[in-house]
Amino acid sequence: MAALAAGAVTAESLISLDLACCGLNDAQAVSLVAALAHSKTLTSLCLRSNDLGDEAAAAVATHLLSGALSAPPLAHLDLSDNRIGDLGAGALGHGVKRSVAILELDLSKNTISDDGGAALLLPLQPAGPCGAAPHLARLSLASNACGLRTSVALAAVLRAPGSPLAGAAVDLSFNAPLCGDAASKLESAFADAQTARLSQLTLHGTGETDAHRLHALCARAVTPLSTDAAACAEAATSTGLTRTMMSWVGTVRDPLLLRPAQQAPLGASR
Model confidence at 270: pLDDT above 50: no
- How does DSSP assign 9-69, residue by residue? HH-TT--EEE-TTS---HHHHHHHHHHHTT-SS--EEE--SS---HHHHHHHHHHHSS--T
Model confidence at 33: pLDDT above 80: yes
pLDDT at 85: 98
The predicted model gives 243-254 an average pLDDT of 30
pLDDT at 205: 82
pLDDT at 204: 86
Highest mean pLDDT: which range of 67-71, 137-141, 208-212, 224-228: 137-141
Model confidence at 129: pLDDT above 70: no
The predicted model gives 68-75 an average pLDDT of 82
pLDDT at 155: 93
pTM metric for this prediction: 0.80
3-class DSSP assignment, residue 171: strand
pLDDT at 7: 56
* Higher per-residue confidence, 112 vs 231: 112
- pLDDT tens digits, residue range 189-207? 888 888 999 999 998 887 6
What is the distance between the alpha carbons of residues 19 and 10, in angstroms, rounded to a whole number? 17
Dihedral pair phi/psi, residue 211, rounded to 5°: -60, -40
Model confidence at 73: pLDDT above 50: yes
228 Cβ contact partners less than 8 Å away, ≥ 6 residues apart = none
- How does DSSP assign 65-129, residue by residue? SS--TTS----EEE--SS---HHHHHHHHHHHHH-SS--EEE--SS--BHHHHHHHHGGGS-SST
Dihedral pair phi/psi, residue 145, rounded to 5°: -135, 40
The predicted model gives 179-198 an average pLDDT of 85
Q: Which domains does the chain have, with CATH numbers?
A: 2-260 (3.80.10.10)
pLDDT at 27: 97
Model confidence at 251: pLDDT above 60: no
* Higher per-residue confidence, 166 vs 257: 166
What is the distance between the alpha carbons of residues 17 and 128, in angstroms, rounded to a whole number? 35
pLDDT at 9: 54
3-class DSSP assignment, residue 258: strand
The predicted model gives 227-245 an average pLDDT of 35
User: Across the chain, what does the average pLDDT equal?
Assistant: 79
143 Cβ contact partners less than 8 Å away, ≥ 6 residues apart = 108, 109, 110, 173, 174, 175
* Higher per-residue confidence, 13 vs 242: 13
- pLDDT tens digits, residue range 78-88? 999 999 999 99
The predicted model gives 90-108 an average pLDDT of 94
Model confidence at 219: pLDDT above 70: yes
Assess contact for 87 and 115: CB atoms under 8 A: no
Model confidence at 230: pLDDT above 70: no
Assess contact for 82 and 115: CB atoms under 8 A: no
